[in-house]
Chain A
């Protein structure tokens, strides 16, 4: 009797963790403790809170999705190595070998850009030739690109302090920096679903949206000279930026992913690439899950944004164009979820809606900055 009980007992979550999980958690605890000891004096109470909450969150994320346990230490080692190469002198970015060719923030970001574009090509080649090997390689490239992007952001964060102690800030403050974040988050979300569904064909659809973001980044760099680190305007000097912006981009990334999977769904349901793409149920499921996680994070981000607005602009809601468009995006996906969950509707209609949702999202994200003016004008083109 006991044996039966034991066999089918669903193990408690903590019991299911292995030695590596605990090692990872200890590493993160030591890392954040060390950071706190080094820089705690310069942080306000909220930033201290954020440091430990983020560490706890990443422990949770690593336990839930195992590859994070490797990703984070790799990013940490490479970033620290890059930072170590500076010797406190920003000019070394173009002199020291490792910085010039790999780890200076701009070099790392260029590597990220190139690798994401390569991965896009790889996934399409894999789709065309039905080569699982090519797809595996593409997934590897996507991982590497994400590592380089994260290293780029970390090093950029450090570089900002080299420019001036009062200039230093987390690289989430303008359109250039958040586009890097967007690419990385979308890629990681995709890699999660790729692993979860053991299906690599969706990459051919999701990676193009990342490549589009990369194209924008390159245009923004070469055409608009946007890569230079600028000091923060007073309104952005707040710990809220550290949580509001990433939460928002989990939302944007997930919505984009859902839309691209929606495109795959539409193609398959019309008989295109029918035997190369995963089953419609799988595509539908990914679409739903992405929109659900995106919606949850977008809600959190909007609430955090409202709390920040209450502190910076004197009101939690001012009907500023960016706020209003965030509401429109939110209402749109709220309606989508109602239709799907309550009415139980499936099929091309919802896929179309997800694709249209991306248009609304892109407008909220870029269009508002380009065409409308308001309080939220941090990224202009």
Chain B
């Protein structure tokens, strides 16, 4: 009794593990579990999940390992069960399969053959010996191998047992072993060994932002580590001897057996502006080798050095040097101050009384934009209206000329003394918007907001100086009386106006300038609300706006004259320039820190993001894949058929079976049935 229970429990486990029910269930569970990682973005920084999910679900999801679901313990456990299940299945089935391949089943009895669904019998007209001869010839001709049962002489029945396509059984063994091999290869290259070391406390992820040589040994992996997949970003002329493995909320440092230096990173573009190639010229210095190895890595063309494959993965700015002009937007300063910065570094900036820190975060030399986007959007959305245009368009596979490069852009954060940062996104060159050109600067107060853009109208030289000159005049209170005087003179030109009225006009113009310089349109609106009857407000606003525009026009002429420039002609262009300047000044009140950094010159330094992997499991995975494909074709396209011909003194019993009942089998059975009838007749 005792022994029976002891032996039956492992037996039951074995039965379960090797059962197909379990295998199918595991396939299903694996499929469903896989979905999770495609719905929830994997391996994001933990802070992102925290923001997205809130503290409760963040913890719950973290506990389930959902941020890296494919390396979570429970997911690996499913895989392990699948390997076990398939492994036991192979262990259980292989002997049977091999026996099937070898055996002819030449001991079948007449009774069992008569029980077959596919059988027929024929009268034996020729002698038994002749029939035997014909039948064996027939079977050989049809591609069957056969074995003869015991020959009892003419009076006794003789069995011919034949089979073809037994190799299909090999397909079973091949495919199932392939799955096990692929999974094992995958687990070696996955981070299972690392997980184990982490569990045992040998390794710990580093969460602090440290220089690579300061990372303690517990978070480092030696070059002897067999399998890793990490990345590193190297600036031009820089080098690296480690890669970083991002894990959960931190990283590990993998020491490399060599050093990689980036000589040059190149981006090539198509005529349309889309990127065509990313290439890194690298030099590998290996302490074991006498000579340095030089090569170029590009997308789809990795370099493999000492079993470590080096891939082009990404790129970024590696510390471009930017020379900029700083403009104080709400001050009477007409001249800029110089400011120099390096991407990914911060420097301090003093604007008279205020102290700021400027962190330059990005620089992009190329910015490809769809030129037609605006034009397309302007068209009515329905396509029936311009069906003919669309038909013509659909008939052509040629690309539209739409993308073009709008020149360099750069991004920086300005942090004030309180530590509050605002982020800016500027373009170096003027952008064309609706036929006018502007220097564009975007601002946002939080990283998840979109940038809101201020458009500084470009002057006749395409620069921002013209606007800045006008802006300085507006904020220079000392100039207001003169501006107002000139405006009043121009406004009353040719009309007989008494001095009192003119003085009043000068006075109120000065007031409008002062109010606008203090708080833009908003202050002006407040002033109007306070000073004018409700019914009159709209009209008053219009008047004030006109006054403001024309006063600024005069202001512009004034400062141009002062700077020795020709006055602007009183045309639409000039009016628009003043109007846009007004809008830009108004927007400057909402610009956060009132400093605009305008790029004058740059020296681009790129960095190349390389991914380095060592994956010893790859060979296993690929050889498993070959077995899998061979096995599949063997299983699907080699059909196993067995034929028994029991030759009795007066009849021949024909029976046929296959491991798969398909229409092809039915057809083949009928064909043999006919053939045999003909064969045994003559």
Residues of A within 8 A of B (CB): 1, 4-5, 8-10, 90, 93-94, 100, 104-107, 110, 156, 159-160, 163-164, 166-167, 197, 221-223, 225, 227-231, 233-235, 237-238, 281-282, 285, 288, 292-293, 295-296, 299-300, 303, 306-307, 310-317, 319, 321, 324-325, 327-328, 331-332, 334-335, 338-339, 341-344, 368, 372-374
User: In chain B, what residue has the closest Cβ to A322?
Assistant: B38
Q: A192 → chain B, closest Cβ, in Å?
A: 14
Residues of A close to B325: CB separation below 8 A:
none
7 smallest A-B Cβ distances: which pairs? A314-B311, A234-B299, A9-B141, A314-B611, A321-B38, A303-B625, A331-B31
Tell me whether B215 is interfacial, beta carbon within 8 Å: no
Residues of B close to A319: CB separation below 8 A:
37, 42, 70
A281 to B667, CA, bound (A): 13
Tell me whether B102 is interfacial, beta carbon within 8 Å: no
User: In chain A, what residue has the closest Cβ to B137?
Assistant: A5
Q: Are B274 and A222 in contact, with the CB atoms below 8 A?
A: no
Residues of A close to B532: CB separation below 8 A:
none
Q: B194 → chain A, closest Cβ, in Å?
A: 15
A299 to B630, CA, bound (A): 11
Residues of A close to B38: CB separation below 8 A:
321, 324-325, 368, 372, 374
Q: Are A228 and B663 in contact, with the CB atoms below 8 A?
A: no
Q: Given A317-B186, A324-B37, verify A159-B70 contact (CB < 8 Å).
A: no
If A1-B133, A222-B390, A234-B278 are given as contacts, then 15 extra A-B residue pairs at C-beta distance below 8 Å, sorted by A number, are: A1-B134, A4-B134, A5-B138, A8-B141, A8-B142, A8-B679, A160-B397, A233-B275, A292-B636, A296-B632, A313-B313, A324-B38, A331-B30, A331-B34, A338-B27
Interchain Cβ contacts under 8 Å between A and B, 12 examples: A8-B141, A104-B395, A223-B383, A225-B393, A227-B394, A228-B399, A228-B400, A295-B632, A325-B38, A331-B28, A334-B27, A341-B635
Q: B136 → chain A, closest Cβ, in Å?
A: 10
Q: Are B394 and A4 in contact, with the CB atoms below 8 A?
A: no
Q: Are A303 and B629 in contact, with the CB atoms below 8 A?
A: yes
Residues of B close to A327: CB separation below 8 A:
31, 34
Tell me whether B565 is interfacial, beta carbon within 8 Å: no
A106 to B390, CA, bound (A): 13
User: In chain B, what residue has the closest Cβ to A325?
Assistant: B38
A107 to B299, CA, bound (A): 35
Residues of B close to A234: CB separation below 8 A:
275-278, 298-300
Q: Given A319-B37, A328-B34, verify A93-B395 contact (CB < 8 Å).
A: yes
A110 to B393, CA, bound (A): 13
Tell me whether B285 is interfacial, beta carbon within 8 Å: no
Identify which of residues 214-241 in chain B touch chain A, using a CB-to-CB cut-off of 8 Å: 229
Q: Given A234-B275, A315-B229, A335-B28, verify A166-B302 contact (CB < 8 Å).
A: no
Q: Are B399 and A230 in contact, with the CB atoms below 8 A?
A: yes
Residues of B close to A227: CB separation below 8 A:
394, 396-397
Residues of B close to A314: CB separation below 8 A:
229, 302, 309, 311, 313, 611-613
A285 to B253, CA, bound (A): 56
Q: B121 → chain A, closest Cβ, in Å?
A: 19
Between B42, B390, B398, the greatest number of chain A beta carbons within 10 A of the residue's beta carbon is seen for: B398
Residues of B close to A10: CB separation below 8 A:
141-143
Selected interface stretch from B152-160, B474-482, B615-623: B615-623
Tell me whether B270 is interfacial, beta carbon within 8 Å: yes
Residues of B close to A282: CB separation below 8 A:
663
Residues of A close to B397: CB separation below 8 A:
93, 104-106, 156, 159-160, 227-229
Residue interface mask B388-416, A partner, CB < 8 A = 1: 00101111111110000000000000000
Q: B417 → chain A, closest Cβ, in Å?
A: 39
Q: Given A166-B270, A372-B38, verify A307-B622 contact (CB < 8 Å).
A: yes
Residue interface mask B167-191, A partner, CB < 8 A = 1: 0000000000000000000100100
Tell me whether B501 is interfacial, beta carbon within 8 Å: no
A4 to B394, CA, bound (A): 64
Residues of A close to B142: CB separation below 8 A:
8-10
Residues of B close to A342: CB separation below 8 A:
20
Residues of B close to A307: CB separation below 8 A:
622
Q: B641 → chain A, closest Cβ, in Å?
A: 13
Q: Are B662 and A288 in contact, with the CB atoms below 8 A?
A: yes
A172 to B543, CA, bound (A): 63
Residue interface mask B13-40, A partner, CB < 8 A = 1: 0000000100110011011001101110
Q: Are A324 and B390 in contact, with the CB atoms below 8 A?
A: no
Residues of B close to A221: CB separation below 8 A:
394
Q: Are A312 and B299 in contact, with the CB atoms below 8 A?
A: yes
A293 to B270, CA, bound (A): 40
Tell me whether B583 is interfacial, beta carbon within 8 Å: no
Residues of A close to B137: CB separation below 8 A:
1, 4-5
A334 to B277, CA, bound (A): 39
- Identify A335's interface contact among B27, B133, B138, CB under 8 A: B27
Residue interface mask B628-665, A partner, CB < 8 A = 1: 11001101100000000000000000000000111110
Q: A95 → chain B, closest Cβ, in Å?
A: 11
Q: Are B636 and A163 in contact, with the CB atoms below 8 A?
A: no
A231 to B37, CA, bound (A): 31
Between A4, A339, A343, the greatest number of chain B beta carbons within 10 A of the residue's beta carbon is seen for: A4
Q: A116 → chain B, closest Cβ, in Å?
A: 17
A241 to B618, CA, bound (A): 21
Q: Given A234-B275, A234-B298, verify A315-B613 contact (CB < 8 Å).
A: yes
Q: Given A229-B397, A235-B299, verify A5-B141 contact (CB < 8 Å).
A: yes
Residues of A close to B229: CB separation below 8 A:
314-315
A259 to B312, CA, bound (A): 41
A328 to B396, CA, bound (A): 38
A90 to B399, CA, bound (A): 11
A23 to B670, CA, bound (A): 34
Residues of B close to A222: CB separation below 8 A:
383, 390, 394
Tell me whether B199 is interfacial, beta carbon within 8 Å: no
User: In chain A, what residue has the closest Cβ to B190?
Assistant: A317
Residues of B close to A228: CB separation below 8 A:
396-400
Residues of B close to A164: CB separation below 8 A:
270-271
Residues of A close to B70: CB separation below 8 A:
319
Q: B632 → chain A, closest Cβ, in Å?
A: 5
Q: Are A159 and B629 in contact, with the CB atoms below 8 A?
A: no
A285 to B278, CA, bound (A): 50
Tell me whether B272 is interfacial, beta carbon within 8 Å: yes
A344 to B20, CA, bound (A): 13
Q: B219 → chain A, closest Cβ, in Å?
A: 22
Q: A206 → chain B, closest Cβ, in Å?
A: 18
Residues of B close to A295: CB separation below 8 A:
632, 636
Tell me whether B675 is interfacial, beta carbon within 8 Å: yes
User: In chain B, what residue has the closest Cβ to A4?
Assistant: B134
A227 to B394, CA, bound (A): 7
Q: Are B621 and A306 in contact, with the CB atoms below 8 A?
A: yes
A303 to B181, CA, bound (A): 14
A303 to B621, CA, bound (A): 9
Q: B26 → chain A, closest Cβ, in Å?
A: 9
A343 to B21, CA, bound (A): 10
Identify which of residues 302-350 in chain B touch chain A, using a CB-to-CB cut-off of 8 Å: 302, 309, 311, 313
Q: Given A237-B300, A296-B636, verify A281-B663 contact (CB < 8 Å).
A: yes
Residues of A close to B618: CB separation below 8 A:
310, 316
User: In chain A, what residue has the closest Cβ to B660?
Assistant: A341
Residues of B close to A106: CB separation below 8 A:
394-397
